[in-house]
Structure 1
Amino acid sequence: STIYRFTSAEVAAALIGAPGSGLSATGHEWLDYSALYAGGASSMLVDANGVLIVSFTEFNSSSSLVGFEVDGNGDYNGNDSLILTSDGRLGEIRFHNGELYVADENFIYRLVPEPSSLLFSVLGLAFFARRKR
């Protein structure tokens, strides 16, 4: 029930088997999500906005797709959002041509943002661009 973060150098050293370079969970905890969401993480990726998207699979209850916001240092900033739930087992999540896809049981779905969230995003970008001038 924990997500760990390692540097690319740590992972590379562990992959080549450098002495003493095995990955240890100690000091690398990024987020213990057990109090927030049940199940184990099946898949994760970082979207274009820097949000860590994780599919949580619970074999005897619903699965969840969740976004965790990340600050400028790469740390969890305390904000998360439930993107969707499924009675099936959520699996792999991928980006393809700028669109998010998720495997759910024997199906693959393309997630389409709600029109209102798209409108708010565009308005927010316009406001931000205007303030910078």
Structure 2
Amino acid sequence: MSKIIGAQVIIRDNFNSVLVIQRKVKKTEPKLWDIFSRTLKGKETTEKCANRTIKEDLKTIIFDLEPFREYIVNEETGDTVMVYMGYVKERIVCHDNIVANKWISKKNISEYEFTPMAKNILTDFFESNK
């Protein structure tokens, strides 16, 4: 039986561009682009987890939060994450562990090296928003 262990959030704009980020990594690790994510705390709902993610990473709140899809993280255990979509309407102030952020669209997704999970999610997002 699957168990939801976290939430990920796609921040989009009115033109279906998506905000992606790069977090600080150790010198030996590759600098990959990603979307916003957190693991659930205690009995927290995935929706509260998604809101907490944006509040902590961007120091703002997310608007029009809606579920996108659920993705399997671990085939063996059946662990999944719930992915949400939403908008930010205020100035973005990134947390200290975020070193870069960019708005990307479907046409320039191939220019960036993503984590495997983020690549799957963004490919699905852009395909579903033609």
Instruction: Give the structure-1-normalised TM-score.
Output: 0.21
Question: In proportion to residue count, which structure has more strand?
Answer: 1
Instruction: Give the structure-2-normalised TM-score.
Output: 0.22
Question: In proportion to residue count, which structure has more helix?
Answer: 2
* Relative contact order, higher structure (CA 8 A, sep 6+): 2
